[in-house]
Structure 1
Amino acid sequence: MSYENAFHWIIDFLEQESVPYMIMGGLAAYAYGSERELYDVDLYIPQLALAAVADYGKGAKTFGPSRYKDEFWDIEGTQFVVDSVKVEITTDHNCRFFCEKDSMWIEQNIDFDSTVTKTLFGREVEVMRLDHLLSYKAQLARDVDLDDVCRLEEAIG
């Protein structure tokens, strides 16, 4: 239930403020039929909306807004904890992930006009296209991502 609360908390704000968004990661996989346990709520938003989103969640903020880089991502964003659930917001500005298979950084071109409308927790929301999600997760190639790819391929037949 807390995932649902965290999800509605951020989507309510984004939709109220007319901020384009794209649900990605495990939650996007869940929207397409993956049934693994969720770890967080991941979304892309435009760079220009980052300050407003960070201000909205200032009481729940645990990171950012700032640049973040580790072995998997080189991104700009912010993070909140809502009802013990991480809500991770990444912007569309200079967003990269590390492709394990090719041992190289891949630029993500986030196109908010290419989302698919799916129903999550009783509401219609904008989700990363399935082909983009499968490609992204296969290239990222962490165990959890490869698990999502397998589950998604099973779910879509």
Structure 2
Amino acid sequence: MTEAANGVAEVASRGAAGGEVPAAVLRRVCGLLDECAIPFQLTGDVAAAAYGAPRPIRRGELFIAAEHVPALLRRAEEHVVDYPWRRRDDAWDRVALSLSFDGVTIDVCIAEAARLREAATGAWREAAIDPAGSVTVKVRGVEAPVMPRRQLLDQKRRLDREVDRQDLRDLAREDP
């Protein structure tokens, strides 16, 4: 398993009993992607934690390029609980599939199909997620492929949900 998979596992290891994604699950997901040679980008809770947000890692969410979906579906067939379909809520419009490991669901989203709604205007905009552009960041001493910090902060400003505002406050404290 690569250091990236180990890094993600370490991020999630704190407080698993409190509803967080267990380390073993993230380790398996990242190991699976590494085995398939699929570039991926961790976003959301894991990316915020990578840059210093103290909130729990409650969701496993990552993005891959559409071209890698068939290989992932073949390799992870026994873990697929939802095949790729468009999911839309107040903040996100994206195509995603869901994998389940030990009862924990991990959403694997298609980078090219992701849009977010800007809170200020209500307009849908391309999320512009590029798994190849991931930044290797030390997360509690271990490296993991995450969304670049500037992009994460911009995305959180644009989404402007309460969780995003809290992350922005927490991450502002971490700015050098």
Deviation at 1:106, TM superposition (A): 1.1
- 1:72 is aligned to 91
The separation in 2 between residues aligned to 1:40 and 1:71, in whole angstroms, is 18
1:6 and 1:85 in contact (8 A); partners too: yes
The amino acid across from 1:116 in the alignment is V
The separation in 1 between residues aligned to 2:127 and 2:96, in whole angstroms, is 14
Deviation at 1:61, TM superposition (A): 2.8
Query: Are residues 1:33 and 2:42 paired?
Result: no
- 2:6 is aligned to none
SS state at 2:38 partner = coil
SS state at 2:57 partner = coil
- 1:24 is aligned to 43
1:24 and 1:43 in contact (8 A); partners too: yes
Aligned residue among 155, 158, 161 for 1:139: 158
SS state at 1:132 partner = helix
The amino acid across from 1:16 in the alignment is E
Deviation at 1:85, TM superposition (A): 3.1
Query: Is 18-27 or 112-121 further displaced after alignment?
Result: 112-121
Give the CA RMSD over aligned residues.
1.9
- 1:102 is aligned to 121
CA deviations over 1:96-120 (Å, ceiling 9, x no partner): 0111112111112222332210234
2:136 and 2:144 in contact (8 A); partners too: yes
Greater strand proportion: 1
Greater helix proportion: 2
The percent of aligned pairs where both chains have the same amino acid is 25
1:4 and 1:121 in contact (8 A); partners too: no
The separation in 2 between residues aligned to 1:124 and 1:82, in whole angstroms, is 22
Report runs of 4+ in structure 1 exceeding 4 Å deviation: none
Say if 1:148 and 1:81 are closer, same or farther in 2 by CA, change over 3 A.
farther
- 2:17 is aligned to none
The amino acid across from 1:88 in the alignment is D
Aligned residue among 6, 22, 25 for 1:3: 22
TM-score (norm 2): 0.80
2:98 and 2:108 in contact (8 A); partners too: yes
Deviation at 1:122, TM superposition (A): 6.3
Provide structure 1 residue ranges, at least 5 long, that are not aligned to the other structure.
none
- Number of aligned pairs? 157
The separation in 1 between residues aligned to 2:165 and 2:72, in whole angstroms, is 30
- 2:79 is aligned to 60
SS state at 1:54 partner = helix
The amino acid across from 1:48 in the alignment is E
CA deviations over 1:23-53 (Å, ceiling 9, x no partner): 1111101011111012111111010112322
CA deviations over 1:122-153 (Å, ceiling 9, x no partner): 64221110000001011111211211111111
- 1:115 is aligned to 134
